[in-house]
Structure 1
Amino acid sequence: MPHYIPRSGNSLLLALMLGSTSTWAADILVQRTIGMELARDVVNEAVLACRKAGYQVSAVVVDKDASLRAALRDDAAPRFTLDISQRKANMVIMGGTESGAVVENRSDIRNELNQIDGLIMLKGGLPIIVGGYLAGAVGVSGAPGGDKDESCARAALEALEDRIAFSD
C-alpha cells in the first residue's frame, strides 16, 4: 500500500520547514581564527625580536581552538622550547588572557593546571585579538625568564598591529 502525504499535509510540512529556517541559521557559527600567513609572520617577528635582544627562542602560534598554526625555532634554541611555547599559547586560549595573568590570578591551582597535557603556567603567552575576539595566541620560550619571552611576543604583535587590527 503506497504511503503518501495529502496535499494539505505537504503545505503544512513545507510551512514548518521554512518557518524554522531562522532556528537553523542560529546553528551556524561564524568565528574568527588566525590565518596561516599572519601566524607565520607572528612567530617570525617574535623569534627575530628575541634574537635582537640576544636570546635564542622558539615561538608558536595556535588558533582559537589551540590547534597549531605556526612554529619556529631559532638555530640554537633547545628543541624543548617548541613544546613549552605551545603550552604557553594553549594556556592563553584556556584562560582567555595573557599566560602571565593566569599565573598571577590562579596560583591556587597552578600545580593542577601544570598536570593538564598541553598547558603550562608560565609567562610568555599572549592573546591575538581581532575585532574584540580571541583569534589565537602566541607563545615564546627560551629567553632567560618568562618576562623576556613575553616581551618578544609583545614586540611581534606590535610589529604586526596594523595587519591584526585590520583583519576584522
Structure 2
Amino acid sequence: MLAACLLLPFGAQAQTAGQDFMSVKRMSMELARDIAQAAVKACRDKGYQVTAAVVDRNGDTQVVMRDVYAPEVSLRIAKQKAYTSVMFSVSTKELEASRPEAGSTLNHVEGLLFARGALPIEMGSGTMVGAVGVSGAPGGDIDEACAQKGLDAVAERLQFGGM
C-alpha cells in the first residue's frame, strides 16, 4: 500500500488527503418548520387534518407538526414516510413505482414505510438536505400534494440556499 502511495504524484496524494473531510449542508430549524407548517396548512385548506414531519439528511426528525384532529398514528406514519424518502433519496411515489416489491420485503425494517406521501428536500444544487412526509389525508396522493405545497412555500429559499 505504501509503495502504491509513493508511486502517485505528490499532488495526487495531497488531493486525496484534502478529501478526508467534507462540508455538509444542513437546513435550519426555521426552514424545516416552514415546510411542515405549509404542508399542514395545505391539507387543512382541503379539509384534512394531517401530520407533517421533516427529517434531516440522516433521517433524524427535525420538525413535526400535527394538526389538532390528526390521529396520533399519523405522527408515526409521517416520520416513517419521510425517513424512507431520505434513505432512498427519492419520493415514496417513485420508490413504489420503481420497486413495487420493496414494501413487502423491507417494511419490517425499523423506521421504513413504503407508502406514498413523502418527498426529498433538495437545494437548488441538487444536494439533498432532508425529506418531508405527510400522513392523515384519505390517500397518499393527497398527502404528497400537501408535502409538495410545503416545498413550494420555500422554493426560493431552497433554490438559492447553497449560494
Q: In which range does the TM-score fall when normalised by the shorter chain?
A: 0.7 to 0.9
Unaligned residue ranges in structure 1 (runs of 5+): 1-19
Q: Secondary structure at the match of 2:53?
A: strand
Give 2:157's aligned residue: 163
Counterpart of 2:107 (choices 85, 106, 114) is 114
Alpha-carbon distance in 2 for matches of 1:109, 1:103: 7
Give 1:150's aligned residue: 144
The TM-score, its normalising length taken from structure 1, stands at 0.85
Give 2:8's aligned residue: none
Give 2:133's aligned residue: 139
Cα shift at 1:48: 0.5
Cα shift at 1:33: 2.1
Q: Secondary structure at the match of 1:123?
A: coil
Counterpart of 2:32 (choices 32, 35, 39) is 39
* Residues 1:65 and 2:61 aligned together: no
Structure 1 segment 14-25 matched on structure 2, within 5 A: 22-25=15-18
Larger radius of gyration: 1
Alpha-carbon distance in 2 for matches of 1:33, 1:116: 26
How many residues of Structure 1 are paired with residues of Structure 2 in the alignment? 150
Give 1:78's aligned residue: 71
Cα shift at 1:69: 0.7
Give 1:95's aligned residue: 88
Alpha-carbon distance in 1 for matches of 2:160, 2:44: 28
Alpha-carbon distance in 2 for matches of 1:155, 1:27: 38
Root mean square deviation of aligned Cα: 1.4
Whether the aligned pair in 1 keeps the contact of 2:102 and 2:114 (CA below 8 Å) is no
Whether the aligned pair in 1 keeps the contact of 2:96 and 2:115 (CA below 8 Å) is yes
Task: Summarize deviations over 1:87-121 as a string: whole Å, max 9, x none.
Answer: 11111112111011101111123212211110101
Task: Summarize deviations over 1:77-96 as a string: whole Å, max 9, x none.
Answer: 00111110011111111211
Task: Summarize deviations over 1:130-165 as a string: whole Å, max 9, x none.
Answer: 121111100000000000000000011112111111
1:86 is aligned with what amino acid?
Answer: K
Moved over 3 A (4+): 20-24
Whether the aligned pair in 1 keeps the contact of 2:27 and 2:129 (CA below 8 Å) is yes
Counterpart of 2:118 (choices 115, 120, 125) is 125
Alpha-carbon distance in 2 for matches of 1:109, 1:38: 31
2:143 is aligned with what amino acid?
Answer: D
